[in-house]
Amino acid sequence: MAVIILIFSWIFLLLNILSILIMIFFEKKDIRSIQSWILMFLLLPPGFSLYVYFIFGRGPKLNKRKIEARNFRVFNEIQNILNIKDYSEIPQDENIDTSILRFNLLHNKSAITECNDVKIFNTAYEKFEELISDLKNAKHTIHILYYIIKNDTIGNLLINTLTEKVKEGVNVRLIYDDVGCICVPKKMFDKLKEAGGEVYPFFPSYLKFINLNLNYRNHRKIVVIDGKIGYVGGVNIGDEYMSLHKRLTPWKDCHLKIIGESVNFLQLQFFQDLAYVSNHKIETEENFREKYFPKSNVTKKTYTQIVASGPDSKNYENIKSSYLRMLYNAKKEIFIQTPYLGLDESFLSALITTAQYGIKVRIMLPTIYDKRIVYRVTSSYINQLLEAGIEVYLYKGFIHSKVIVMDDDVSSVGTANFNIRSFSLNFEVNAFITDKSINSQLKEIFYNDIKNCTKVDEDYEKNKSLFIKIEECLSRLFTPLF
């Protein structure tokens, strides 16, 4: 028996070494990520560490040819319809900062849309109330993509509403992330499918809790109604987002409703994800443009760009790049609201150097956490931020907003958190807006939220227990894995 155990130990050790070599020579992971994985191999039992690596680290297991074919087919078909060149003109307006518009156009290939009406939801309740109303008024198509759809009151209200719309003759297509909904019974969607609605899991698990794409999640939240109304932001579908969770309350979030030209590009992103999860060639449908890309009659000027990122694109850190550009282009101030900080050296350096350059940087984080180890990573950065002169506020509740505001002109609201997972692993989508009115509203929300915050001072680090400091140190070692 001892000989057998020894043989298996040597086999697993060799496999661990092989995995490390794969990381170094084939996957070409970031050096900090490699270091974290090596540490994990040392700490976890042989065999189990290999399993964890192949589930969480060896990916993404994406069909590159399928993705490239999907993007080429869908994007080029829609490009012919929308005439993307019409959305490539940088406004000549001396009264606004167009630097982020230019960067997103040139670096991220994100269309510049001018005519949009953007509404900010500061609570999930406001968002759900208006979303359900808009869904009930849908005439021909409803497209929905969510990371999480809970089997609770608001989740069932959504499914029931969609089911009724299908019975009325509206085409309903719903995509959900299978990992995000891993604890949700799939029979929840049966009534919608039986009525004729289309329901697709993203990266489906073939065995419960076993998914080779577990580490790569579609974290996007997109709703497009009749090709005219779009929703994007941080709010998933669930009662907890309305502060109904016993512990995570009050819950602070931010979401957008957009009517106008930018809805076309939320629709485009939905179609690209739909093409990946189904074989339905939606672009061949009759009256395709009229149904899905109707001409907008909005005249209000709010420059808006839809920026998507994820491991399915060549420049997979698009949103991170735009966040960094906002930090480096700031002239006066930066406001950030986020539930998580899990920063690589480039982003941490950008925050610190921006503050040291004399820019006022304010970051708002939650006091209550939803994931302990991730929160310890977040809190481990606070002292470094304070030493750089960054103001840190702890919201007396849970913050789920993903918001960054630069000076008077540029802001971003979307699904991407300020951590490595969102930057490098998840499929994300944000709206970047260049508009003084939207910036003013978001800053007003931030200042109002400060009233429910504790401003962190030098006593924060002093008052930490030894146990918490140890937790932070250990958690921080694995930041690249989150």
d(CA 134, CA 255) in angstroms, rounded, equals: 15
Q: Which of 226, 253, 273, 409 is catalytic?
A: 226
Task: Return the closest-CA partner of residue 479 out of 276, 279, 340, 385.
Answer: 340
Q: Which of 127, 143, 219, 257 is catalytic?
A: 219
- Sign of the dihedral through C-alpha 157, 163, 164, 168: positive
Output phi, psi for 278, to 5 deg: -140, 165
Q: How far is CA 76 from CA 65, 67, 71, 81, 280, in A?
A: 16, 14, 8, 9, 16
Q: Which of 402, 409, 435, 449 is catalytic?
A: 402
Q: How many CA atoms lie within 13 A of 150 on its CB side?
A: 13
Would you call 400 a catalytic residue per the annotation?
yes
Would you call 226 a catalytic residue per the annotation?
yes
Would you call 107 a catalytic residue per the annotation?
no
74-82 long-range contacts, CB within 8 A, separation 24+: 74/268, 74/271, 74/272, 74/275, 74/283, 75/268, 75/272, 77/283, 78/268, 78/271, 78/283, 78/293, 81/288, 81/289, 81/293, 82/111, 82/264, 82/268, 82/293
d(CA 20, CA 25) in angstroms, rounded, equals: 9
- Sign of the dihedral through C-alpha 111, 114, 115, 117: positive
Task: Return the closest-CA partner of residue 204 out of 61, 78, 321.
Answer: 61
Would you call 221 a catalytic residue per the annotation?
yes
Q: How far is CA 51 from CA 19, 44, 54, in A?
A: 11, 10, 5
The single residue listed with the structure tokens 């929905």 is 144
d(CA 204, CA 211) in angstroms, rounded, equals: 7
Under a CB-based contact definition with an 8 Å cutoff, are residues 242 and 251 in contact?
Answer: yes
Q: Which of 143, 150, 221, 252 is catalytic?
A: 221
d(CA 22, CA 482) in angstroms, rounded, equals: 20
- What is 194-249 written as a DSSP string? HHT-EEEEES--SBTTB-TTTT--B---EEEETTTEEEEES--BSGGGGTTSSSS-
Q: DSSP class of residue 24?
A: I
Q: Which of 150, 252, 320, 400 is catalytic?
A: 400
The gap from C-alpha 365 to its chain's centroid, in whole angstroms, comes to 17
Tokens standing for residue 469: 């400091």
Please return the burial class of 228, using the count of CB atoms within 10 Å of its CB with bins 0-12, 13-18 and 19+.
buried
Active site (catalytic) residues: 219, 221, 226, 400, 402, 407
